[in-house]
């Protein structure tokens, strides 16, 4: 299996209502992950890039959280409408999407 050029991790963690940490689940992460899945399929990105749904990545209160390696860029508050930019700019052009980056105080 060839090593992917980039690996996208999408937090799909849920917690019970009222939990003090909240979660990406209550902020719509499932729609973000499903949008990534659809885009990977329609753009035929499998093999060049990897996509994994994952548990908590850390900055729950700023979710949905998306982490891209090998750069280790954390994105916060990602919406389904942001997924195309993440793919076109970060994955395909190697230019992280600055407007979606988690604050340095959270991930720096």
Contact set with ligand FES (CB under 6 A): 11, 13, 23-24, 56-60, 63, 65
* DSSP for 42-79, written as a single string: HTT-BTTEEEEEES--S-GGG-S-EEEETTTEEE-S--
Calculate the CA dihedral of residues 84, 87, 9, 73 and round it to 10 degrees.
Answer: -110
Nearer to ligand FES, 47 or 58 (CB): 58
Nearer to ligand FES, 46 or 69 (CB): 69
Residue 44 CB, nearest approach to ligand FES (Å): 28
Nearer to ligand FES, 2 or 20 (CB): 20
* Longest CA span, the chain: 43
Residue 60 CB, nearest approach to ligand FES (Å): 3
CA proximity to 84, closest of 93, 53, 1: 93
């Amino acid at each position: 299996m060839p090593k992917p050029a980039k690996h996208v991790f999408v937090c799909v963690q849920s917690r019970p209502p009222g939990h003090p940490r909240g979660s990406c689940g209550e902020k719509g992460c499932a729609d973000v992950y499903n949008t990534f899945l659809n885009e990977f399929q329609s753009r035929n990105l499998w093999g060049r890039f990897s996509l994994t749904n994952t548990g908590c990545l850390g900055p729950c209160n700023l979710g949905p959280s998306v982490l891209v390696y090998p750069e280790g860029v954390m994105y916060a508050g990602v919406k389904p409408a942001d997924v195309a930019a993440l793919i076109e700019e970060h994955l395909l052009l190697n230019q992280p999407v600055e407007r979606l980056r988690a604050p340095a105080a959270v991930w720096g």
